[in-house]
Structure 1
C-alpha cells in the first residue's frame, strides 16, 4: 500500500519529465505533502511560497496565464478555507487550469490538531462553478486521476489522504470523469445500495463484506468524481432501491450524501436515504482508529449502520 500523497509526488515528478508546463507551488509543507519529491527532481519548476496560501493561489494563477499547468501543494484545510477568496476569484471565475492538490484531508489529521482537519472541503469546492472535484479511493485510482488532471484544461480540486489504505482497484483500472464505479453488483434487487467516496470506500468495502457474510445482498457504488457527476449513470445503480446508504469521511452537510439525495429527489425515487458521516459539528484531535470509531466510520461501525438500516426495513 502507498499513501496518496506519495503517489501524487511520484506521479507528478514522472509526468514533468515530458511535460515542461507542470510546476508546483508549495506552502511550506513539501515534506508532508510529498511535494519534496518533485522539488528534488525539478527544482527549477518548484516554488516555495512559504506560509502564504493566498499568495500561492495568485502565483499559480499568474503562471497559468503564461501557459504553465500549476499544482498547489498544501493541506486541504488551508486551500479550501484560508485561500478560498483567491481560489474563488482567480481560479474558479476565470476557469484557470490550476490544480489544488489537497493533502491531509478528512478526519484523519487529528495528530496535527483539530484545526487542521478538513471535513467540509467537498461541500465548499463543489459549490464553486467550473471546479472539478475528485476523491480517489486508493493509490491506483489516485495515480489515474492525477494523470487525467495534469492535462485537464480547467480548475481541479483533488482530495488526497495522508495515510495509505487497503487497495480497492488493480492495475486494470481506468478513470472516467463523472462516472460512478460499481464495486459490488449484488442482485437485481439488493437489500441495500451503498454509495461511498474517497478513501472511506476502502473501509466500506470491508464493512460490506462483513454484512454480506451474514446472508444479506448489498450493492456498492464508488464515486471518485463528486463534480461533475454523471447523474444518469448513478441513477442506473440506484433505480428501484428501497434503501440507500451514503458513507463519507466528511460532514453530512453538503457532501456525498447531499449529492446522492439530489439525484434521488430529482427522479422522484421512493428510496429511504441514510447518510453516514460526521454530524454537523467539529471533530477533535486524536489517533486515527479512535476517531474512526467515535465518528462511526470504522469498518465495524459502518457495518453496524448498514445492519441498522436493514433491521429497520424488516421491522417496517
Structure 2
C-alpha cells in the first residue's frame, strides 16, 4: 500500500506495475532490454487478461485497454486495472504499466487530450500513482481535471485478500 511512494522517490527508478498477464510479459521484455534501476510490482490475485495481444509499453506511455468516452477517461496502473474497468461506466480505460520520474514530462501532452482523468490505484493516495500524475502536470498548460481514487487509510490495520481490501478501501465498484 506504500511501495509506490517509496520507489518513486528514488532517482532513475522505473516502476513496472502491469495490470494483466499481457502487460506483465511486455514489461518484463522492456526491463530486460533497458537495464537500470527498476521495481516490478506484480498482482497476486490471479488478474485476468484484458489485452488480446501483448501491448507496446514504454515508461510514461498510456496503453489503451477499453474504448469509450475520451472526454472523461480512467487511467490505472497495476492490479487495480480490473477495478478501473469495472468503474469505467462508458469511459475509455487506459493503463500505465511503466512510469518513472523521467516519464513525467510526457504526461501533459497525453492528459491534454481529455477533459477529465480519473486515476485508480491499489495504493494509498499519499505518494501514489494519482499524486505522481498530478505532480506531472503541475505548472503546465494541461487543462484536464485529475481525480485520484486510491485505497482508504482505513485498511492499514487489516489483513485480507485483495478483493476484500479493495472493497473495504473503496476501490471496488
Could you say which structure has the higher helix fraction?
1
Given the superposition, is the C-alpha separation of residues 195 and 153 from structure 1 closer, same or farther in structure 2, using an over 3 Å criterion? same
Measured after TM superposition, the shift of residue 150 of structure 1 is 2.7
Given the superposition, is the C-alpha separation of residues 240 and 140 from structure 1 closer, same or farther in structure 2, using an over 3 Å criterion? closer
The runs of at least 4 aligned residues of structure 1 exceeding 4 Å deviation read none
Partner of 2:110: 237
User: Are the counterparts in 1 of residues 152 and 170 from structure 2 also a CA contact under 8 Å?
Assistant: no
Structure 1, unaligned runs of 5 or more? 1-118, 213-217, 301-316
TM-score where L is the length of structure 1: 0.49
Given the superposition, is the C-alpha separation of residues 182 and 171 from structure 1 closer, same or farther in structure 2, using an over 3 Å criterion? closer
Q: Secondary structure at the match of 2:78?
A: coil
Given the superposition, is the C-alpha separation of residues 265 and 285 from structure 1 closer, same or farther in structure 2, using an over 3 Å criterion? same
Residue 170 (1) aligns with residue 52 (2): yes
User: Are the counterparts in 1 of residues 108 and 141 from structure 2 also a CA contact under 8 Å?
Assistant: no
User: Are the counterparts in 2 of residues 136 and 224 from structure 1 also a CA contact under 8 Å?
Assistant: yes
Partner of 1:196: 76
Residues in 1 aligned to 2:59 and 2:118: alpha-carbon distance in whole angstroms: 23
Residues in 2 aligned to 1:146 and 1:240: alpha-carbon distance in whole angstroms: 29
Could you say which structure has the higher strand fraction?
2
Q: Secondary structure at the match of 1:262?
A: helix
Residue 272 (1) aligns with residue 152 (2): no
Computing the radius of gyration over CA atoms, which structure comes out larger, 1 or 2?
1
Structure 2, unaligned runs of 5 or more? none
Aligned residue among 22, 36, 40 for 1:158: 40
Aligned residue among 195, 202, 205 for 2:85: 205
Residue 284 (1) aligns with residue 158 (2): yes
Residue 223 (1) aligns with residue 96 (2): yes
Given the superposition, is the C-alpha separation of residues 173 and 241 from structure 1 closer, same or farther in structure 2, using an over 3 Å criterion? closer
Partner of 1:85: none
Given the superposition, is the C-alpha separation of residues 248 and 283 from structure 1 closer, same or farther in structure 2, using an over 3 Å criterion? farther
Measured after TM superposition, the shift of residue 176 of structure 1 is 2.4
| Deviation digits for residues 89-140 of structure 1 (CA, Å, limit 9, x no counterpart) | xxxxxxxxxxxxxxxxxxxxxxxxxxxxxx1111111100122111011111
TM-score where L is the length of structure 2: 0.85
Given the superposition, is the C-alpha separation of residues 244 and 129 from structure 1 closer, same or farther in structure 2, using an over 3 Å criterion? same
Q: Secondary structure at the match of 2:53?
A: coil
